[in-house]
Amino acid sequence: MQGGDDDSSYAKNSEAPASAISLCRPLLLTTIESMKIFFRNEEEAESLRVADLGCATGYNTLATVDMVVEALRQRYINQCGFEPEFEAFFSDLPSNDFNSLFRSLSNIGILSDNKRKQYYAAGVPGSFYGRLFPRRKLHVAVSLSALHWLSQIPDGVLDKRSAAWNKGRVWIDGAKKEVVEAYAKQSEKDLEDFLKCRKEEIVQGGMLFLLMGGRPASQQPDNQLSDPDSRAKHPFTTSLDQAWQDLINEGMIDEETRDGFNIPAYMRSTEGGRQ
Amino acid sequence: MQGGDDDSSYAKNSEAPASAISLCRPLLLTTIESMKIFFRNEEEAESLRVADLGCATGYNTLATVDMVVEALRQRYINQCGFEPEFEAFFSDLPSNDFNSLFRSLSNIGILSDNKRKQYYAAGVPGSFYGRLFPRRKLHVAVSLSALHWLSQIPDGVLDKRSAAWNKGRVWIDGAKKEVVEAYAKQSEKDLEDFLKCRKEEIVQGGMLFLLMGGRPASQQPDNQLSDPDSRAKHPFTTSLDQAWQDLINEGMIDEETRDGFNIPAYMRSTEGGRQ
């Protein structure tokens, strides 16, 4: 993901996730309203720990955590008469631009003014397909528009000797059956790993809220982005294959370089997500 | 502080702190050996939380936390028969290069391989003169070669109308009495704020281990770095004033720019540190 905040940065090119995240907010708020109350009085209260998994950088990141913390804070004030302390963990791969993220936190005063501080902020570098937190420590974990990114390009896809070798393509759009199956299998394993890790990390009565790019149950996996209008625009589809082919035709790169590149993303079906 | 890992980076220019930190290791280890055991069995055990305050980036950073975690881990294995989980918090100002720090963590495998992972790592951006963690949550806090950095340039030092205006100088070396006193006062307030915040954050029986640049009790505050040999080399002393003066003489900067620059550092006396 591109760091910083210039025109090519993720922060300035994330309208689609922003829109999906906005749409899911009412559902997230309703879920928080129905959550267990963990501490009835201030003396017993531990800090409440909230994590954003696959947080990236930019406006979306802070807005989600701010909303979760504020909703929980109001509930404790109204129902228990005290304000618990909060820890907010912003997690993403070590290659994420945490420097930018931390600058945003200090720009809005979260780090500099104790009176205005609503949570203690920390960045957690690592893959959410492995453990990121100690046992039974998280009260709320959210992961918004991140779980369609796989932990790796599936085995075989970059291997000439494999039936799943994805020669000439950078993704499963239009690819042969074996490639699509390799992606589907990787996606299934990854989701299992994710859920297993979160099960260990989240306290009893805690909440896991997921929003992920997906496709209708009726739609086959080789048809990841069915809307003809979206297909025309989405960078993962054959327009990217064509761009690579142009580079090859112009002698800018060789075929081997193109064949070594694949996008590790997969849109699960609503049915697959439920299993 | 300069991020990255090129020739001008802090990571490649921190031999002096590295040497001081090496020298204090035996003392740190002895202190850990004498620490309270918090959990006698695995079922009751919470994760042990270790923080490095003013962690910077580079080899020093990881080496200290690794040593603390490993020493505690061995104690729990030997004395209680189980291995607790650890959380390690690397804290520094938001301007610290956390991206580099997190890359180091992933290079040595802490983030990528669950089996080798000895702690869950997080970066905490913020000033240690304010609260960084929730109440009663830290078991070990260390701050090595960081507390001589003040929270701010003392009031008056950059103000033309003040008796403490430090015209023509960038630090207290050779400065007038009022400047030195303003620095001494800031240093005292800062250390108090630091200790007050840590008192709230550290659990009962937890440990705070401090190593800071200082001077002998017998040495007056206007004599911060007495060793004639060090004075000749240390960048804070009059050699830096001379460098600024050269820039002014060559017309590269104006006096106002120089007068607006002061180094927010102060070496406490051993006596002052004890109070």
Interface probe, candidates A98, A107, A118, A131, chain B, greatest B C-beta count within 10 A: A98
What average pLDDT score do residues A184-192 get?
96
| More confident call, A240 vs A123 | A123
- CA B40 to chain centroid, in Å, comes to 32
Of B94, B127, B131, Cβ closest to residue A103: B94
CATH number assigned to the domain comprising residue A79: 3.40.50.150
What would the pLDDT profile of A26-44 be if each residue is shown by its tens digit? Answer: 999 999 999 999 998 998 8
What would the pLDDT profile of A201-240 be if each residue is shown by its tens digit? Answer: 999 999 999 998 888 888 888 878 766 666 556 777 778 8
Residue A246's pLDDT band (cuts 50, 70, 90): very high
Residue B236 lies in a domain: no
Of B86, B98, B133, Cβ closest to residue A98: B98
Cβ–Cβ below 8 Å for A123 and B120: no
Number of CB atoms found within 10 A of residue B30's CB: 10
Three-state secondary-structure class, residue A52: strand
Interface probe, candidates A47, A55, A102, A193, chain B, greatest B C-beta count within 10 A: A102
Instruction: Judge contact between B262 and B171, C-beta under 8 A.
Output: yes
Cβ–Cβ below 8 Å for B111 and A125: yes
Closest-CA distance of chain A to residue B62, Å: 15
Cβ–Cβ below 8 Å for A89 and B124: no
Residue B135 lies in a domain: yes
The confidence score (pLDDT) of residue A5 equals: 66
Nearest CA in chain B to A107: B94
CA angle A149, A152, A153 (to 5 degrees): 100
The confidence score (pLDDT) of residue B86 equals: 96
What would the pLDDT profile of B62-80 be if each residue is shown by its tens digit? Answer: 889 999 999 999 999 999 9
pLDDT value at A51 more than 80: yes
Residue A247 lies in a domain: no
Cβ–Cβ below 8 Å for B122 and A94: no
Cβ–Cβ below 8 Å for B89 and A131: no
The confidence score (pLDDT) of residue B3 equals: 65
Residue B5 lies in a domain: yes
Of B120, B131, B137, Cβ closest to residue A132: B120
Identify any residues that bridge with B120 across adjacent strands, giving them in sequence order. B87
Catalogue the E-assigned strands of B128-256. Answer: 138-144, 202-211, 214-215
Residue A59 lies in a domain: yes
Distance CA A35, CA A44 (A): 18
Q: Total structural domains in chain A?
A: 1
Instruction: Judge contact between B246 and B169, C-beta under 8 A.
Output: no
Residues of B in contact with A89 (CB under 8 A): 122
Residue A194's pLDDT band (cuts 50, 70, 90): very high
Distance CA B57, CA B66 (A): 14
Cβ–Cβ below 8 Å for B120 and A124: yes
What is the extent of the structural domain holding A63? Answer: 1-146
The confidence score (pLDDT) of residue A9 equals: 62
Residues of B in contact with A103 (CB under 8 A): 94
CA angle A94, A96, A101 (to 5 degrees): 120
Instruction: Give, as one character, the DSSP assignment of residue A66.
Output: H
Buried b (16+ CB within 10 A) or exposed e, A48-79: bbbbbbbbbbbebbbebbebbbebbbeebeee
Residues of B in contact with A132 (CB under 8 A): 120
The confidence score (pLDDT) of residue A228 equals: 62
Residue A153 lies in a domain: no
Residue A160 lies in a domain: no
Residue A54 lies in a domain: yes
Instruction: Give the residue from B134, B113, B135, B111 showing the smallest Cα distance to B122.
Output: B111
10 Å CB burial of residue B114 (0-12, 13-18, 19+) is exposed
pLDDT value at B194 more than 90: yes
Alpha carbon of A169 to those of A173, A213, B89, B271: distances in Å? 8, 21, 42, 70
Interface pTM, i.e. ipTM: 0.89
What would the pLDDT profile of B39-51 be if each residue is shown by its tens digit? Answer: 989 988 999 999 9
